[in-house]
Structure 1
């Protein structure tokens, strides 16, 4: 959930600030970009140099950079973040957050932030229980900010009770769960296929196609970023998922891809069949390498089982099935025939006649046609952007 996200980490003056070194490392490990902003007092508990080294970014403490006098732009910082985490959030800073007081860079960034703001309080037991603290927390939450509750245990004062900041691992888990819970495809299972299939002629040679798998992998990554549980059945390809949550099943042949799809389709809410599956496979596969002769070579082919049509025949009410049509002539006619013949809910049409579309390229130009034959034509875009368009339409169909 944090992969590629821009996280602003606000650090306040508290003994719990020592935990932010671990927190930064966990955020970086999760794939986030981390910008640390500290209050001046926080620098007494952990050095900016430590957090700068771990975050691989300069740490901001003051409005102005002491060496150059340049302005640390709190407005730009607030717009940059996908999320802001204030940890530890001291009683002093929470009072400022509740009252809108801006006397340091951190509170200025907080007031400028357009993203969700999480705060993890850290203070002694009596401070935590004080009515003014409770009122400030209630006010901060009313503003839409999200409390990461403190834990209970031994405190720096020697007292035992509530007030200790949540552990870094708990903060990461809390934020990820909160982000995921708000995503539109959370708890949805989606099956995606990608890449080519290779149909063996002998142990050395095969029949294949030029599919790189880029489009299917982009779709799988986009669906995962929307919260879906994605199973990706991939033919032979060098592509790698950017989203670590994607469950990948590697196959080689059309038969193997069919089996993998049948094993996962029943429990899927949707299936996006992006793979370029071979229509034919050798009727007989030689067990030894076929030697070259002066005469020509004839290979008998048989049809492979149509995976898309098979899934369409097994589709249950509520399931959404998406197919692809790569055409060279009569594009819309053939795509609509495929849509109806294979019981699809949506077909993605692209033509090899369009420059920049098709196999191996980083771009694609598609037309989406649904069951009602509503057609949406898109301009040439990167495959990442095309994946967003396809997934936006899929989201409508699922809902």
Structure 2
């Protein structure tokens, strides 16, 4: 059953194996040799509790290379940025902390521990060190704060609900839950507090989760798309959750197949994502590339395809892919304003959060994807100035569709 409508019309991190499968693949892949001692792997993340300025000093690093090349994609932009972005300027002024990590897949456990805990630095931004380059966006403080904003948006937008799948009863009793691409782990932590009898596991390429978590939460550094699969038994989980990351999935049919395989019969898989297609119902948004947010999203989409083969708008056809994997699917789609132009208070707040998430993290969201299609730093900076202006302008009544799609694994 599909439903599409406008919003108002309608403590401890314990040691454990990797999630990846070793059977039938010879030697275990790197993450399977890595254990997560509570006292060491998350030490650096305690710095999240320090001041913003201290974190800037810790994480700042100059870009290792300039964005190179030219692109006709920027030819329509008439206004140039008077200065570089604040993030890039701050990074350029700081001393380099570390060179990029050269990840050694044959490393012993000690070397692997060091590699995972360190990070790569490009364009004044910090990226994950484990299997470097797989994910196009940074993991630094600005991106972590954007993760918090997107979490708040999700909760408010769906009327204070952390999920839409009908799994409340299972969670209240004793459920096994897996959160894919958990980010800072805020969804897992808050869900674990709400449902103390259930167990929550979160995986991510970056060790950026809190050091102090509820006792029913475990985090792992791992790649949910690793070629060796998941090192857990099939039919294990009652609920698998993926939020705001489908845009970076390289093989959606395979990921959905894995989710199906590892759910118990009757279990649910839920995916939530903003579609990243600019829409407008009243003609206030200029057509085509006259509206800079549309231009930027198209450029990021092109960059992701070029860089890693993923689709920024993959949520648009996720329902069909979920059905193809065998799920019984229900789709929910609502309009989320971009900016604070909506009259309704809840929609206005949600629109403000979406705009904040775009503006606050826009350099990090742009650097790798746009570099992949040949944009130079000045071209990117010129576009971002215009994007910020258009997003902040309340005369532009833009919105994007926000999807929550969940599927049930049949009992048979």
- TM-score where L is the length of structure 2: 0.28
For CA contacts below 8 A with separation 6 or more, give which structure has more relative contact order: 2
- TM-score where L is the length of structure 1: 0.29
- When you count strand as a share of all residues, which structure comes out higher? 1
Larger Rg: 1
